[in-house]
Amino acid sequence: MPDASRYNPTGRFSGLAETYAKHRPGYPEAALDYIMQRCGLSGTSRLVDVGCGTGISTRLFAARCIPVIGIEPNDEMRARAEAEAVPAGVPVPEYRKGTAEATGLPDVSADAVLAAQAFHWFRADEALREFHRNLRPGGHVALIWNERDERDACTAAFGAVMRSGPDAAAVELPRGRAGEALLHHPLFVDATRTLFANEQHLDEGGLLGRAFSASYAPREPVAVERFTAALREVFARHARSGKVVLRYETSVYLARSAVS
């Protein structure tokens, strides 16, 4: 399987924090409920969100009154997460610099480790061994991705434009299959993969923002112009009442730490 970790996963998101925070989709309530139930999370648990980026998934779990530590190596993305306010009564997430392979957290200090839209950037075996070290006995790992559901015509057209961007194949192929590493890892048991439906309703600016939040979207001016024109054509063809709908399948990979 191609290894996306060699494509500078920390540096390639520099300059994208605001766009990423504004335009990336969240995760469906049903998927969050499933993770909460399977991992046995409560207000006394500790969840570690590795590769947390701008804190999208971190805040979703904090909003459910779960104490969360976000681990993020990119300073700009982490600062954007720290700047985001949370509602009164919600535990304020703690953010720390670190990587999936070296979180900097103590042994047996977490009840669950989450990686949302991030695990494909990690060195899979090293990261899972680090997660196992971080977890208390019987703790869980949850890996989650929003993957385009290209059975939908608009989403398929959007996907075709996205695949025209530089490095697209290097990122998209390992992203779609990266969770399989958890299904067969010797340090984890009871591994499963479960799918949930998700969607984004976007105006034209939102569709452009969603596209340019990808680390492999073009940045060179001529390529940006072509990419933008293709996205505008997708919007014009599929918009209804000023919006398009991008549809996703949200994959949740879950496994329990084996007792060593």
Tokens of 168: 């697209």
**What's the confidence (pLDDT) of residue 8?**
60
In this structure, is residue 101 part of a structural domain? yes
d(CA 132, CA 161): 38
**What's the confidence (pLDDT) of residue 1?**
45
CATH of the domain at 101: 3.40.50.150
In this structure, is residue 237 part of a structural domain? no
In this structure, is residue 158 part of a structural domain? no
Q: What is the pLDDT along the chain (260 residues), one digit of tens a residue?
A: 445 656 566 666 778 899 999 999 999 999 999 999 999 999 999 999 999 999 999 999 999 999 999 999 999 999 999 999 999 999 999 999 999 999 999 999 999 999 999 999 999 999 999 999 999 999 999 999 999 999 999 999 999 999 997 777 666 655 768 999 999 999 999 999 999 999 999 999 999 999 999 988 999 999 999 999 999 999 999 999 999 999 999 999 999 999 86
In this structure, is residue 220 part of a structural domain? no
Question: Domains in the chain: how many in total?
Answer: 1
**What's the confidence (pLDDT) of residue 14?**
76
- Please report, for the chain, how many H helices and E strands are present, in that order: 10, 7
CA distances from residue 167 to 6, 7, 12, 36 in whole angstroms, order as listed: 12, 9, 11, 34
pTM: 0.93
In this structure, is residue 122 part of a structural domain? yes
d(CA 25, CA 146): 8
CB atoms within 10 A of CB 240: 8
| ∠ CA 62-64-67, rounded to 5° | 40
DSSP label of 75:
H
Which value, to the nearest 10 degrees, does the dihedral of the CA atoms of residues 202, 161, 232, 218 take? Answer: 100
DSSP label of 13:
G
Phi–psi pair at 14, nearest 5 degrees = -60, 135
Residue 34 C-beta-side C-alpha neighbours within 13 Å:
20
For 112, the domain range is 4-146+170-198+250-257
In this structure, is residue 228 part of a structural domain? no
In this structure, is residue 33 part of a structural domain? yes
Conformation bin of residue 137: beta by default, left when phi > 0, alpha when psi is -120 to 50:
beta
In this structure, is residue 129 part of a structural domain? yes
Buried b (16+ CB within 10 A) or exposed e, 52-63: bbbbbbbbbbbe
Characterize the bridge pairing of strands 47-50 and 110-116.
Answer: parallel
Only one residue has tokens 């953010």, namely 95
Which run of H or E residues covers position 127? Answer: helix 124-134
Closest by Cα among 217, 223, 207, 241 to 16: 217
